Amino acid sequence: MLRVPSTPMLSALLIFLTLLIFALDTFSPLDMAIAVMYVVVVLLSASVWQRRGVLLTSAVCMALTVVSYMLTHTVVFSGAAVGRMTIGLLSIGIVTFLALRGQAATNALLARERALRRSEAFLAGTQRISKTGSYSFKVPNGEMYWSDEAARIFGFALDVAPSMERVLERTSPEDRNTVRASFEQSIRREGEVDLRHRLLLPDGELKYVQVLARPQCHEDGSCEYLGAVIDVTAAVLAEQALHRSQVQLAHATRVTMLGELAASIAHEVNQPLAAISTNGEACLRWLNRPQPEMEEARATLTSILAASQRATGVIKRIRALARRSDPQHAPLDLNTVAEESVDLVRRELDNHQVALMLSLAPGLPPVQGDRVQLQQVIINLLMNAIQAMSSCAPGQAVLTLHTQRADEGEEAEQGRVRLSVSDSGPGIPADAIPRLFEAFYSTKQDGMGMGLPICRSIIETHGGRIWVRQPAPDAPVTGATILFSLPTHEPD
Amino acid sequence: MNQIDYSDAMVYIVDDEAPLRDAISSLLRSVGMRIAAFPSVAEFLAAPRPDATSCLLLDVRLQGVSGLDFQAELNRDGVALPIIFMTGHGDIPMSVRAMKAGAIDFLAKPFRDQDLLDAIHAALLADRERRRRDHALQGVTARYATLTPREREIMALAARGLMNKQIAGEVGTSEITVKIHRGNAMRKMEAKTFADLVRMAESLGLA
Calculate mean pLDDT across residues A116-137: 90
Which residues is A211 bridged to in the sheet?
Answer: A195, A229
Contact assignment for B23 to A274 by CB distance below 8 Å? yes
Q: Is the peptide bond before A140 cis (omega within 30 degrees of 0)?
A: yes
Contact in structure between A17 and A43 (CB atoms under 8 Å): no
Q: What is the least distance, in Å, from the CA of A322 to any CA of chain B? A: 23
Report pLDDT for A119.
92
Distance CA A63, CA A42 (A): 13
Distance CA B207, CA B189 (A): 15
pLDDT in tens, A33-79: 777 888 888 888 888 888 888 899 889 988 988 888 888 776 777 78
Contact assignment for B20 to A275 by CB distance below 8 Å? yes
At residue B201, does pLDDT exceed 70? yes
Give chain B's mean pLDDT: 84
What residues of A are in contact with residue B22 (Cβ under 8 Å)?
275, 303
Cβ-based interface (< 8 Å): residues of A facing B? 263, 266-267, 270-279, 281-282, 285-286, 289, 293, 296, 299-300, 303, 306-307, 310, 350-351
Contact assignment for B23 to A278 by CB distance below 8 Å? yes
Q: Is the peptide bond before B39 cis (omega within 30 degrees of 0)?
A: no
What residues of B are in contact with residue A296 (Cβ under 8 Å)?
26, 29-30
**Which of B6, B13, B27, B65 to mutate: most A Cβ within 10 Å?**
B27
Percent of chain B with pLDDT over 90: 17
Calculate mean pLDDT across residues B154-164: 86
Burial of A20-46, coded b for 16+ CB within 10 Å and e otherwise, reads: ebbeebbeeeeeebbbbbbbebbbbbb
Q: How far is CA B102 from CA B80, B87, B89, B116, B127, in A?
A: 9, 16, 20, 17, 12
Calculate mean pLDDT across residues A132-153: 88
Burial of B79-103, coded b for 16+ CB within 10 Å and e otherwise, reads: eebbbbbbbbbbeeebbebbeeeeb
Distance CA A67, CA A79 (A): 17
Contact assignment for A278 to B20 by CB distance below 8 Å? yes
Residue from B76, B83, B115 nearest B99 by CA:
B83
Which residues is A333 bridged to in the sheet?
Answer: none
Contact assignment for B26 to A303 by CB distance below 8 Å? yes
Calculate mean pLDDT across residues A204-218: 90
At residue A18, does pLDDT exceed 50? yes
Q: Is the ipTM of this complex over 0.90?
A: no
Give chain A's mean pLDDT: 85
Element at A133 (helix H, strand E): strand A132-139
Q: Of A286, A306, A351, which has the smallest distance from its Cβ to B30's Cβ?
A: A286
Contact assignment for A274 to B88 by CB distance below 8 Å? yes
pTM: 0.57
Contact in structure between A430 and A470 (CB atoms under 8 Å): yes
Percent of chain A with pLDDT over 90: 25
Domain ranges of chain B: 6-132, 146-203
Contact in structure between B142 and B161 (CB atoms under 8 Å): no
pLDDT in tens, A226-261: 999 999 999 999 888 887 877 777 787 888 888 777
Contact assignment for A271 to B20 by CB distance below 8 Å? yes
Report pLDDT for B63.
60
Residue from A333, A425, A418 nearest A371 by CA:
A333
Q: Of B30, B88, B110, which has the smallest distance from its Cβ to A277's Cβ?
A: B110
Q: Of A263, A273, A282, which has the smallest distance from its Cβ to B26's Cβ?
A: A282
Q: A204: phi > 0 → left, psi -120 to 50 → alpha, else beta; which?
A: left
Distance CA B136, CA B202 (A): 13
Pairing relationship of beta strands A481-487 and A416-422 according to DSSP bridges? antiparallel
Report pLDDT for A4.
47
Most distant CA pair in chain A, distance: 170
Q: Chain B residue closest to A268 (CA)?
A: B88
SS3 assignment, position A404: strand
Handedness of CA B168, B173, B175, B178 (dihedral sign): negative
Contact assignment for A306 to B61 by CB distance below 8 Å? no
How does DSSP assign A449-467, residue by residue?
S-HHHHHHHHHHHTT-EEE
Q: Which residues does A324 contact at the CB level (< 8 Å), separation at least 6?
A: A247, A248, A251
Architecture of domain B6-132: 3-Layer(aba) Sandwich (3.40)
Q: What is the least distance, in Å, from the CA of B98 to any CA of chain A? A: 17
pLDDT in tens, A407-466: 665 666 777 899 999 988 888 877 777 777 776 677 666 666 667 888 888 888 888 888
Contact in structure between A404 and A410 (CB atoms under 8 Å): no
User: Which amino acid would we find at residue A90?
Assistant: L
Which has the higher per-residue pLDDT, B79 or B123? B123
In this prediction, residue B89 has a pLDDT band, given cuts at 50, 70 and 90, of: low
pLDDT in tens, A266-296: 878 888 899 999 999 999 999 999 999 999 9
Q: Which of A40-54, A441-455, A467-481, B103-117 is predicted least confidently?
A: A441-455
What residues of B are in contact with residue A266 (Cβ under 8 Å)?
89
At residue B105, does pLDDT exceed 60? yes
Q: How far is CA A148 from CA A169, B36, B159, in A?
A: 18, 89, 122
Report pLDDT for A220.
78
In this prediction, residue B71 has a pLDDT band, given cuts at 50, 70 and 90, of: confident
SS (H, E, C) chain B: CCCCCHHHCEEEEECCCHHHHHHHHHHHHHCCCEEEEECCHHHHHHCCCCCCCEEEEEECCCCCCCHHHHHHHHHHHCCCCCEEEEECCCCHHHHHHHHHCCCCEEEECCCCHHHHHHHHHHHHHHHHHHHHHHHHHHHHHHHHCCCCHHHHHHHHHHHCCCCHHHHHHHHCCCHHHHHHHHHHHHHHCCCCCHHHHHHHHHHCCCC
Note whether B6-132 and B146-203 share their fold: no
Report pLDDT for A1.
41
User: Which amino acid would we find at residue A408?
Assistant: E
Q: Of A273, A282, A303, which has the smallest distance from its Cβ to B30's Cβ?
A: A282
In this prediction, residue A333 has a pLDDT band, given cuts at 50, 70 and 90, of: very high
Contact assignment for B19 to A282 by CB distance below 8 Å? no
Q: How far is CA A219 from CA A190, A216, A222, A224, B10, in A?
A: 18, 10, 7, 12, 102
Report pLDDT for B106.
86
Instruction: Report how far Cα A167 is from the mean position of its chain's Cα atoms.
Output: 21
Contact assignment for A285 to B19 by CB distance below 8 Å? no
pLDDT in tens, B16-30: 888 999 999 999 999
| Domain spanning B146-203: CATH 1.20.1730.10 | no
Contact assignment for B26 to A296 by CB distance below 8 Å? yes
At residue B88, does pLDDT exceed 50? yes
Contact assignment for B27 to A278 by CB distance below 8 Å? yes
Phi, psi for residue A395 in degrees, rounded to 5? 85, -10
Q: Chain B residue closest to A301 (CA)?
A: B23
Residue from A125, A126, A162 nearest A144 by CA:
A162
